[in-house]
């Protein structure tokens, strides 16, 4: 992939308005991302090699603080680790805000109408009840399996209960995910945390992806992964249907 021309102003706006708030960046995370952006993508470099001591000096923090920030950015998908030489040197590809799925979804959501009282009620609905609600779960995962992160098409995806129905799992958006057929079959009634750990042991997830999946499971249970709700409209007889 070639490095495309970058609109630095737009990148900064996306960083401040979308990326940093969406991924809960700390002050150090912000400084590290900005410093790496300045020396990599802004200079036309898709891959960038740096050392932790160099990064720590440039940002003005301790080495352990800089190393922890790099690990967080990798776990969140902001940095892709290409190679690590020893404990200090890293070769990474820094992703622009527009290249990160969570930010892309936030941009799309910004153009949707503001949520209504009806939309808030919809969050407590049975998300298997109608096709628009089922599609909302698939849309939230943006065409990837929630568990293994593999790209999937609408012909190969299915919905899975994180907490199985046999264990009183609900049809809530907090308990339903879009996944590939393989993961749906392999997981069955297993505990979701143990299942994603098994994907790591089978080398279907990297260590950083495993961290991200465990965090996503926590966010799902906490109700933070809200799907894009279908717009409710009235039909001719006064009833409501999803668009």
Same structural domain, 83 and 132: no
Assess if residue 166 is contained within a domain.
Answer: yes
Strands 176-180 and 232-234: unpaired
Residues 215-236 have a mean pLDDT of 76
> How high is the pLDDT of residue 22?
79
Using 50, 70 and 90 to split pLDDT, how confident is the model at 60? very high
Q: Are residues 81 and 128 in the same domain?
A: no
Q: What is the mean pLDDT of residues 53-78?
A: 90
Instruction: Spell out the residues 6+ positions from residue 71 whose beta carbon is closer than 8 angstroms to its own.
Output: 208
Report whether pLDDT(13) > 70. yes
Average pLDDT over residues 168-187: 91
Q: Quote the pTM value.
A: 0.48
Range of the domain at 37: 8-98
pLDDT tier, 100 (very low <50, low <70, confident <90, very high otherwise): confident
- pLDDT for 5 equals 74
Q: How many other C-beta atoms lie within 10 A of the C-beta of residue 105?
A: 17
Q: How many domains does the chain have?
A: 2
CA distances from 129 to 133, 135, 136 (A): 7, 11, 12
Looking at the structure, tell me whether residues 71 and 144 fall in a common domain.
no
* Residue 45 CB partners (closer than 8 Å, separation 6+): 3, 39
Q: Please give the pLDDT value at position 86.
A: 63
């Amino acid at each position: 992939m070639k490095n495309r021309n970058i609109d630095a102003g737009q990148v900064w706006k996306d960083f401040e308005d979308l990326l940093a708030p969406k991924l809960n960046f700390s002050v150090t995370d912000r400084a590290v991302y900005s410093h790496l952006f300045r020396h990599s993508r802004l200079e036309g470099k898709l891959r960038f090699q740096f050392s932790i001591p160099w990064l720590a000096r440039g940002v003005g923090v301790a080495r352990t603080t800089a190393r922890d920030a790099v690990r967080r950015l990798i776990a969140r998908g902001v940095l892709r680790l290409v190679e690590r030489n020893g404990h200090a040197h890293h070769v990474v590809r820094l992703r622009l805000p527009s290249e990160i799925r969570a930010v892309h979804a936030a941009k799309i959501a910004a153009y949707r109408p503001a949520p209504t009282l009806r939309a808030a009620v919809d969050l407590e609905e049975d998300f298997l009840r109608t096709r628009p609600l089922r599609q909302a779960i698939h849309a939230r995962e943006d065409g990837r399996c929630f568990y293994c992160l593999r790209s999937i098409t609408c012909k190969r995806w299915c919905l899975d209960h994180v907490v199985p129905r046999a264990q009183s799992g609900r049809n809530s958006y907090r308990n339903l995910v879009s996944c590939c057929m393989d993961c749906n079959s392999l997981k069955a009634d297993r505990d979701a945390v143990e299942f994603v750990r098994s994907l790591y042991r089978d080398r279907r997830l990297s260590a950083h992806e495993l961290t991200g999946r465990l965090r996503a499971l926590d966010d799902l249970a906490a109700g933070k992964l809200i799907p894009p709700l279908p717009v409710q409209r009235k039909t001719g007889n006064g009833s409501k249907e999803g668009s």
